[in-house]
Structure 1
Amino acid sequence: MAMKWAIGLMTGTVLDGNIDIAMLQTDGARIAAFGPWQLAPYPDTLRADLQATLAAARDWRFQGPEPALFASTERALSEAQSEAVAHFLDQHGFSAGDIAAIGFHGQTVLHQRPGGDGKRGQTRQLGDGALMAERLGIEVVYDFRSADMAAGGQGAPLSPIYHKAMLERIGADTGTAILNLGGVANLTWHDGERLIAFDTGPANAPVNDWIGAHTGAEMDRDGKIATSGSVDADRLAQLLDHPYLSAGYPKSLDRFDFPSSMADGLSLADGAATLTAFSAAAVARGLDLLPQRLTRLVVCGGGRRNPQLMAELAARTGVNVVPAETVGLRGDAVEAECFAFLAMRTRAGLPISFPLTTGVPAPLAGGRIALPPRLVAP
């Protein structure tokens, strides 16, 4: 397959008010080059709508008709992201014809993993791929998770096949894994044959919510509040008894499976310290599940910018913990790059989920393709 430019779009569950936009030159199997990357802020009104929609989704829990708010928020989100892409292309000197496809993840509002009783999981991402394709005149790949869950998979994480390409690009050995710290933490390891990945536990979401509830701020910037507090060892020990942490992979989490209420009763600083330590300790438990001991974690995602979280990771895992930039990767752009990569895989009919990543019975293709009007056959 030819190497072509694709754009990936990602908006995480931490609701930081930004759209991640990244260009990647790829054939869906290898990384040829990294293109421009930037954050595009959402309109303030859309961020408020998304917060309300997430709250409605938690009340809904896939029971009965979707909340009416979903449709209006989905359209507003799709229009905002389309506008952001148009501005991005213009700003960086590209035209629609330069782009083979856009990988449009959309906004996850609810993700429910399969039950132990054999019940299949469900997921909902807001994102109208057809509307975006019409607005931009570019092929759009979207709805990446539904096929996996319909086949009995976890629907997450979908990043492992891109993480594998990252590991190959940097020439990593089997002692290295990729760790992404978003709202949830996910880990990817590859030994040349097996591709293993799973959500280890929470990352930024609980401490962000804790800080937001107590101060109104978006996050514990630079980990300063956690640094000023003390970890409640008894509370941490209780949290580490959670059965999810010792469960085998594949496994995945919703952003709210480990809530900020885990720190209820603690002071602001001690709660932040304890939640931060728990996210790191959960990663350490995840490493214990891998077939071999690691020597290095390459960390991407917003959590790598939190010095306290990175220090906790190093202390609790006992491995070399390095930001993605130290090995020539872009830690902030990885999730958006991933969906550019997955878009090209979908166009090529290649699998995007695997038995040891999401739990599907066999490697499975996914994603839906929306063609712009100029490419739709009459």
Structure 2
Amino acid sequence: MMEGPIWVAGAMSGTSLDGVDAALLKTDGRRIFDFGETRYRAYREEEREVIRAALGLWPGDAGVELAAEVAETAHAAVLSRLKGAEMVGFHGQTLAHDPRGRGTHQAGDGQVLADVLGLPVVWDFRSSDVQLGGEGAPLAPYYHFACAQWIGADRPLVFLNLGGVGNLTWVDPRLNGPEEDGAILAFDTGPGNAPLDDLMRARRGMARDEGGALARSGSVDQVIVKAAIRRPFMSRMPPKSLDRNDFSDILARIEALPDADAAATLVAITVACVAEGLTHCPEPPARVLVCGGGRHNAAMMAELGDALACPVEPVEAVGLDGDMLEAQAFAFLAVRVARKMSTSGPMTTGVAAQVGGGRISRPRV
């Protein structure tokens, strides 16, 4: 475990609550050597409802233990299908994130997975960062730096992740590592897909606006968009992070809008927040590479292309897998934890110094 590249399985279940992504990555914690197979396990609707009912709750609250069990069962099922891993990176299911208050809460016990899978499991990646004054998010930026070097980028670029919450990583690949001053800047931009998914579920009984079809047929309420980007969060200097529910009141603002106009307005809010976020970057990016479910929304991608002053493309344009990037990131971070390397720093989470988070659980049988 102390040197050379190894195969690691990483898993991620995001705030969109769609399911668990799992991926194999060969890495030494600094560079990407190879990509392995990937798997996906969707949450069944009854499982999703258990997790949704626990959103905003903390350890010990009623409903949390059941949500953790759902997450553990789903992760064990999908990770057991990946063969050849020497270690696992397990993010868990975020239920609450309040770094300036109660902390951060990812449901799921790594020891349970270690015992089931018979492999060392690295987990609880965020707590140490928050305890030391950081935001605890986003955590994928160090992996984004490795991705930028893997694709041979020679100018600053942005990785934009549009999951339940939007976040971006500005990367300067001309430097040697993500720990260097000026190598990266990362922060949450605002809502991603969560409000739109919630709207579709409430009004149409659908998991998402497939392909952005509904949003493309609607008109944007610019008054609501402008109100969203006047929030205090938007003017805060990064690094900064959000909870999935921090923008939940937006749904109340669009209640009177027809379905299509409401969907179009939510897409416009996400795009406006991203555009505002890019003004904080140290240097304009040469391109924006989009990962996460938002890249499948044609309305969102078209509006991003119109709003931003550089090419906007899905990460598949450079040979990466936008559905699995975050799962791969936690495989990458697992190696960094095991080898006592940092996983976050001042320009990713705002923590005062480089921090190596995470716990390691080894099989007991």
Superposition TM-score tier, normalisation by shorter sequence? over 0.9
Q: Give the TM-score taking structure 1 as reference length.
A: 0.90
CA distance in 2, matches of 1:73, 1:198: 27
Q: Which amino acid aligns with 2:133?
A: G
Summarize deviations over 1:50-72 as a string: whole Å, max 9, x none: 12222xx3xx5x5xx72132123
Which residue of 201, 209, 231 corresponds with 2:220?
231
- Residues 318, 261 of structure 1: CA spacing in aligned structure 2 closer, same or farther, 3 A cutoff? farther
- For residues 250 and 47 of structure 1, the distance between their equivalents in structure 2, rounded to whole angstroms, comes to 30
Q: CA deviation at 1:175?
A: 3.3
Counterpart CA distance in 2 for 1:76 and 1:235 is 36
Q: Is this contact kept in 2: 1:281–1:317, CA < 8 A?
A: no
- Contact map agreement 2:17 2:43 (CA 8 A) in 1: no
Q: In the alignment, what sits opposite 1:38?
A: 39
SS at match of 1:15: coil
- Of 260-269 and 350-359, deviating more is 260-269
Deviation, 1:216, is 1.1
| Distance in 1, Cα, partners of 2:330 & 2:272 | 29
Amino acid at match of 1:47: R
Q: What displacement does 1:43 show?
A: 4.2
Q: 1:149-160, aligned counterparts within 5 Å?
A: 149-160=130-141
Asked if residue 6 in structure 1 is aligned to residue 13 in structure 2, the reply is: no
Work out the CA distance in 2 between the residues paired with 1:262 and 1:313: 23
- CA offsets per residue over residues 64-88 of structure 1, 9 Å max, x none? x7213212331332133112222x1
Deviation, 1:7, is 0.4
> Which residue does the alignment assign to 1:102?
88
Amino acid corresponding to residue 97 of structure 2 in structure 1? H
Task: Tell me how far apart the structure 2 counterparts of residues 182 and 43 of structure 1 sit (CA, whole Å).
Answer: 19
Spell out, residue by residue over 1:159-204, the C-alpha distance to the aligned partner (whole angstroms, 9 max, x if none): 1001111111112233311111101111111222422100011111
The residue that corresponds to 1:117 in the other structure is: none
Structure 1 CA distance for aligned equivalents of residues 36 and 265 of structure 2: 38
**Is structure 2 residue 189 aligned with structure 1 residue 203?**
no
Change (3 A) 1:234 1:46: closer
Deviations 1:227-273 (A, max 9, x none): 11001122222222112112100100001111233423211111110
Q: Secondary structure at the match of 1:257?
A: helix
Q: Give the superposition deviation at 1:122.
A: 0.6
> Of residues 164, 182, 186 in structure 1, which corresponds to 2:145?
164
Structure 2 stretches lacking a partner, 5+ long: 176-180
1:177 aligned to 2:158? yes
Superposed displacement of residue 44, structure 1: 4.1
Looking at structure 1, the residues matched to 198 and 214 of structure 2 have their Cα atoms a distance apart, in angstroms, of 13
Amino acid across the alignment from 2:78: A
Whether the 8 Å contact between 1:121 and 1:154 is mirrored in structure 2 is no
Structure 2 residue 232 is matched with structure 1 residue 246:
no
1:75 aligned onto 2:66: no
| Per-residue deviation, 1:121 | 5.1
The reply on whether 1:189 has 2:191 as its aligned counterpart is no
SS at match of 1:104: strand
The answer on 1:301 being equivalent to 2:303 is no
In the alignment, structure 1 residue 257 sits paired with structure 2 residue 246: yes
- 1:85 matched residue in structure 2: 79
Q: TM-score, normalised by structure 2?
A: 0.93
Alignment partners' CA distance in 2, 1:174 and 1:271: 37
Which residue identity does 1:13 align to in structure 2?
T
Q: Aligned letter for 1:253? A: L
C-alpha distance in structure 1 between counterparts of 2:43 and 2:284, whole Å: 41
Aligned-pair identity in percent equals 44
Amino acid at match of 1:46: E
SS in 2 for 1:5: strand
Equivalent position of 1:135 in the other structure: 116
Aligned: 1:360 with 2:336 = no
Aligned mates of 2:246, 2:354 — CA distance in 1: 27
**Which residue does the alignment assign to 2:21?**
20
